Amino acid sequence: MEWMGDVNHHRIKTNGIWMHVAEKGEQGGPLVLLLHGFPDTWFSWRHQIPHLASHGYHVLAPDLRGYGDSDSPLSPTSYTIFHIIADLLGLLDHFNHQQVFVVGHDWGAEAAWRLSLFRPDRVKGMVALSVPFFPRSPDISPTQFFKQSYGDDLYISQFQEPGRAEKAFAKYDYLTVMKKFLLMDKLVSPPGMEFIDCLVTPSESGFTGGLNYYRAMDLNWELQAAWQGSKVTVPSKLIIGDKDIGFGGTKEYVVGDVFKGLVPDAEVVILEGHHFIQQEKPKEVSDQIISFLDKLAA
């Protein structure tokens, strides 16, 4: 891609780890932080990075801890949402930005929601792709919920045991693993698989870093008890695919009064597509992000 040569790459010390960050755009422009999910890296934003930069934004797309060229602690306890948020705050401080626009997909969307919840003073506005804000359940942990709702065969349940998924994945090459995983849970359609070949290989620790996000889910649930019932007050936009497997069971929540009550200043956009919407519908998603940020940056 022609724009690849214009992207600057850094390794920055933040919150006790080294984080790899891809950067593009004028440093004097509004800062946009792009946060990827599982099993991606910064490269999942390859379509949005040049689009945002061409509109005057200063773009940072890190490899979150556990991915790509960022450090990958081995223990799941090093992957709580507070570790992730502290990594991001250190990144903002490094680039001397008090406030930022945040765009996140999948686990990156979860990080964007929680950054907006915990530190609204640091967020001008946020866009979440594929994952809405969900309140903390007071009665049941996440792993118990998924087990009761979907049984032990759901990938989230299978990821909980350290080493189990790694052992299964080791039987195949990286791209085969990703294609089997994504098609198994209908996260993409077969015609939409082209982008898988563009994924960057996992970190030196293999898949463990990314899997540890799932293994820290119950610990996150325990640690966030103090935020029970809290609302996200930051201006927000949710972009979700109508064929996203997660949207099927949450449609009424997303388009209803409950979500609006928890995120009062929220806009919801439903596009035709699946879970990896920013890669399946790159132009539509880029335009939706720009239209939202431009209103807040004006």
Q: How many CB atoms lie within 10 A of CB 219?
A: 17
| Peptide linkage before 135 cis (omega within 30 of 0) | no
Marked catalytic residue, from 55, 213, 214, 274: 214
Marked catalytic residue, from 63, 71, 106, 244: 106
Burial of 216 (0-12, 13-18, 19+ CB in 10 A): buried
Annotated catalytic, 275?
A: yes
The string of DSSP codes covering 38-86 is: TT--GGGGTTHHHHHHHTT-EEEEE--TTSTTS---SSGGG-SHHHHHH
Dihedral over Cα of 189, 178, 86, 18: its sign:
negative
- Cα–Cα dist 85/103, whole Å: 14
DSSP state of 273: S
Amino acid identity at 151: G
Burial of 245 (0-12, 13-18, 19+ CB in 10 A): middle
Annotated catalytic, 213?
A: no
Annotated catalytic, 218?
A: no
Residues involved in catalysis: 106, 214, 275
